[in-house]
Structure 1
Amino acid sequence: MSQLHTLTMPKWGLSMTEGRVDAWLKEEGDTIAKGDEVLDVETDKISSSVEAPFAGVLRRCVAQPDETLPVGALLGVVAEGDASDAEVDALISQFLADFKPGEASEADSGPASQKVELGGRIVRYLELGEGGTPLVLIHGFGGDLNNWLFNHAPLSEKRRVIALDLPGHGESGKALQAGTLDELSQAVLALLDHLGIDKAHLAGHSMGGAVSLNLARLAPQRVASLSLIASAGLGREINGDYLQGFTEASNRNGLKPQLTQLFSDPGLVTRQMLEDMLKYKRLEGVGQALASLRAALAEGSQQRHDLRQAAEGIPVLVIWGDGDQIIPAIHAQLPGAQVEVLSGQGHMVQMEAAEQVNGLIQRFIDNA
């Protein structure tokens, strides 16, 4: 008894419509396990690996390196059990005959992001899933809700999950009053109030971790748990040169050395990623917002906030990459927390080791 599976171009984030095949990581005839990285794909946001959602033998590599294909297009065929070449050929022919570019992209796009005015400021957010105690995803310094590109949908399979653009970031209002953690935390609380959420799990990355901890300090009754990923606020040291370099960079040559420090694989920093970041940094008010936030976060290479006590009495998961060049992984050692330090990973561990991070957060929240 055999079963054939199609491996198709995934959709990462709302805006993705196509991807370029970079390289196959497996060869025809290789046995693959569920979760194995099968090929690398580059989008206009980031490069990443396509993981197998099933186990079997890679029978056919249909897509070729350097080929750009729409979301949902056929990449390869995986077989469980014995299947003849004729059966594989028939499946491919049928798929290509039925496939209409654009339909998969539209069907998988899901809800669009929304904007709401809170306290005189526009805040953008994206909501997926339903049920359970909601989870709120809070990005880091200079990021936006797309930093959760590989996490948002998988985490929403069991519950309502909201990602937002913090004030000064993404498509939210850029003007800040003082750029303090209190201001950012209050913006998250205002969004929770708007959405009718009394209590939520919080997952924060980097500065977003500090925002989450600070929110727990301000309103502990609103926080069901904390998932802190490479979080600020858990120790003194921080890469002040990165913060300064990122804030001041005004062209690709100035920005690229900063962004490559975020990843264990510098090749993930694409030209489009640089262009998108520069476009954001040139928006009116962004430069001032980033400068205010940087000053509020750190003085040189020393963080201003020690928020470890804010986590007391709340279930906490701490995730870090042991190769983090922005905030050292030694900060992960928080008493009473579940601590997971991932080998070979950098600061953007939720993107580079998405499946592992998603599994850790999902299991932690289920038991919190």
Structure 2
Amino acid sequence: MNEAIKTVVMPKWGLSMSSGKITDWLAGVGDEVADGDELADIDTDKIAGTLESADAGILRAIVAKAGEDVPVGATIALIAPAEVAEDEIEQAAEQAREEIESGAVEEVTGPMTGAVEVGGRTISYATLGTGEETVVLVHGYGGDKNSWLFVQEPLSATRTVHALDLPGHGESTKDVGDGSLETLATTVRGFLDALGIERAHLVGHSLGGAVVTAVAATEPARVASLTLVAPAGFGEQVNAEYLRGFAAATSRRELKPHLTQLFADPQQVTRQLADDLMKFKRLDGVDQVLNTLLGTLLDGDRPGIDAVPELTRVRAPLAVVWGRADRVLPPDNAEQLAARTAVSYIDGAGHMVHMEQPNAVVRAVESVAGTPEG
């Protein structure tokens, strides 16, 4: 195939994804597209996401139609400059179509998983990319490394990107000790030590935002940049009812109303998402973990974390992203951060900005981390 023809493939957004459904094409044949332009909306078994172009040129062919389930790694469209002959495009599109229909699609390697011992606990993580610079993604309360599925892949094009499970979460040891911010921050510092990471771009969501802020305050030489996504520890507002309800829920029926508060679009709360979280909540030790962390997150009905003193000691470039429809940590909380940096308020996003509008998070990270060559 002509090297000028660039393929757009079904991405692997997460460890368990084997296929995706194209729900809508946002660009049409003949459209000029740039690197980062939105091409298609894709639905997975977890949540819907938007696929961005990794190349610049003209969208010359759409191989997979809207409404079609396509295996991960399959070519779904072709991008090429105008000078590439139409017969070459047709031949490449025909071949891609045959591969989809026959199932002869080259397997795409997803994140590589691993585990390290930190402070007597096993910390699980997933890694994508092999770039010289390193990004570490830290999730929030009740989350795990897979919550970054739409962010980790695009960042890994030019960097090594680790998403870790904090203690008590995901596949890490179900023990958080005293559950303090310092315990969690010590875990992240220990993770960097265990992997031999001398310097990293840290990205944290919600509770993870407070955690990486604490790390950046105490290890300034090791933090190249800091990106906070709806972080805890700033402002006076917190949805204590959500946090307690999430911790207390014992069935999918009880859990789902609380999960809908995480997203601007309640339809994002799929049965699979709720089932996965209930499986996590039923694991031995998780109930104690969640209730211990409530003691860190809440002081009565008020926030229990104040990360502002730590932020005053942070010297790394800072980016902040907040969903305008956040009902867990309202965007008014960002006022304390606005004095330090411009805050990106994202329409169409609730608390889970990195799942609903992941491209906004990627852009925020790039704004302070730069865009190294691959």
Q: TM-score, normalised on structure 1?
A: 0.87
Cα deviation 1:283-322 (Å, max 9, x = unaligned): 1111111111112111343111211121224232222122
Shift of 1:200: 3.0
Provide the rounded CA distance (Å) in 1 between the counterparts of 2:80 and 2:133.
38
Q: 1:323 aligns with which of 319, 322, 325?
A: 325
Give the conservation status (yes or no) of the 8 Å contact 1:260–1:266: yes
Deviation larger for 12-21 or 61-70: 61-70
Residue type matched to 1:337 in 2?
T
Aligned CA distance change for structure 1 residues 143 and 95 (closer, same or farther; 3 Å): same
Q: Which moved more, 1:29-38 or 1:150-159?
A: 29-38
Alignment-mate amino acid for residue 327 of structure 1: L
Q: In terms of mean alpha carbon deviation, does 4-13 or 310-319 score higher?
A: 4-13
State the match for 1:14 in structure 2: 15
Cα pair distance change 1:81/1:200, threshold 3 Å? closer
Aligned to 2:93: 92
Q: Distance in 2 between matches of 1:281 and 1:13?
A: 20
User: What CA distance in whole angstroms lies between the structure 1 residues aligned with 2:297 and 2:77?
Assistant: 47
Query: Across the two proteins, how many residue pairs are aligned to each other?
Result: 365
Cα distance in 2, alignment partners of residues 279 and 258 from structure 1: 16
User: Following the alignment from structure 1 to structure 2, what is the Cα–Cα distance between the partners of residues 216 and 168?
Assistant: 22
SS at match of 2:150: coil
What value does the CA root-mean-square deviation take over the aligned residues? Answer: 2.9
Match of 1:204 in 2: 204
* Aligned AA (2:138): I
TM-superposed deviation, 1:208: 0.1
Q: Say whether the 8 Å CA contact 2:204–2:228 is kept in structure 1.
A: yes
Question: Per-residue CA shift, 1:150-172, capped at 9, x if unaligned?
Answer: 22232234443322100010000
What is the 5 A alignment of 1:1-368?
A: 5-26=6-27, 34-54=35-55, 60-78=61-79, 80-81=81-82, 88-97=89-98, 101=103, 104-106=106-108, 108-109=109-110, 112-130=112-130, 132=132, 134-313=134-313, 314-315=315-316, 316-333=318-335, 334=337, 335-366=339-370
How far apart in 2 are the matches of 1:130 and 1:27? 33
Does structure 1 retain, via aligned residues, the 8 Å contact 2:261–2:327? yes
Q: Is this contact kept in 2: 1:145–1:164, CA < 8 A?
A: yes
- Structure 2 SS opposite 1:213: helix
Structure 1 counterpart of 2:241, one-letter code: D
| Aligned-partner residue type, residue 45 of structure 2 | D
Change in 2 beyond 3 A, CA 1:300/1:21? farther
Question: CA offset at residue 218 of structure 1?
Answer: 4.4
Taking structure 2 as the reference length, what is the TM-score of the superposition?
0.86
Range moving further from structure 2, 273-282 or 51-60? 51-60
SS at match of 1:104: coil
Deviation at 1:46, TM superposition (A): 1.6
Name the SS for the 1:237 alignment partner: coil
The DSSP-based 3-state class of the residue aligned with 1:94 is helix
Q: Partner amino acid for 2:361?
A: V
- Is contact 2:124-2:171 (8 Å) kept? yes
Q: Residue 205 of structure 1: CA displacement?
A: 0.6
Find the residue that maps to 2:14 and give its secondary structure.
Answer: coil
Secondary structure of the 1:279 match is: helix
